Amino acid sequence: MREKIENLVRLQGIDNEARGARLERDGLRDRIQRLKDLLVVARRGLDDKAEKLGEASRFHREKDDELKADQEKVNRARGKLQAVTKNKEYMAMQKEIEALRRSNGTREEEILKLLTAIEEFKLSIAAEQEKIATLEGDVANEEARNATRLAELDARIDVRSKEREGIQAQLPRDLTERYAKIAKARDGLAITPVRKGACSGCNFMVPPQQVLKLQKLETLESCRSCSRFLYWVEPEKAVAAPEAA
């Protein structure tokens, strides 16, 4: 039984270290991914603004062409006006020219608004491009800065995984399955020492008769409150035992 308990304690230590490495690794990866997600959003925003700039530019060209066409009509109407001799025709021609002038005035206002919008889009696009360049630099720097650490953590997790397999092979399958079930239900902590007469996982007091059993190492005992496996260590050594997660 002593060997089984020692192997369970070793297994818990390996799991604690592997979990810590995974948490750190995943935290670093998440931070990099968040930057990448911001970069994707920024690029989409840039594409949207570029598309709107293209639409505004096309609309501006259309309005400018319409204005030029109407101005040609005005010029032709003025030329015809010089040759008109009848008063009725002259008045009709004057009305046509005036209508064209009003239409041109409206188009000129629209063109000025479009030019303003185009300039605003250009400024916004320039700011977005600067933001994207900064984000790209942040992503590159974050990846470069953490590349070595991520590789170290991956290697450590891989080593601990192999160590875990070796220890599991020395334990009965039903015991490892029970260990896994408890760990899943108790935040990764399946076996914990007794400290000051209590389970260090949940602080439930352990009956004296159960403490005696733990000290004899003849049976595998569990906490009557949290169901974690328990083990005994001398008080001066308890500080080195795995902490509750």
Where along the chain do the CATH 1.10.287.1490 domains lie? 17-168
Q: Which amino acid is at 194?
A: V
Distance CA 145, CA 163 (A): 29
Tokens matching residue 3: 């060997």
**Per residue of the chain (245 residues), what is the pLDDT tens digit?**
999 999 999 999 999 999 999 999 999 999 999 999 999 999 999 999 999 999 989 888 888 888 787 777 777 767 766 666 667 666 776 677 777 777 777 778 888 888 988 999 999 999 999 999 999 999 999 999 999 999 999 999 999 999 999 999 999 999 999 999 999 999 999 999 999 999 999 999 999 999 999 999 989 999 999 999 999 988 765 444 444 43
pTM score, whole prediction: 0.69
The burial of 179, by beta-carbon neighbours within 10 Å (0-12 exposed, 13-18 middle, 19 or more buried), is given as buried
Q: What span, in angstroms and rounded, lies between the C-alpha atoms of 156 and 147? A: 14
What are the CA-CA distances from residue 162 to residues 7, 18, 33, 53, 153 (Å)? 14, 11, 28, 57, 14
- DSSP codes joined into one string, 178-215: HHHHHHHHTTT--EEEEETTEETTT-PBPPHHHHHHHH
| Residue 87 · residue 68 · CB < 8 Å | no
Q: Which CATH number fits domain 17-168: 1.10.1740.10, 1.10.1530.10, 1.10.287.1490, 3.40.50.300?
A: 1.10.287.1490
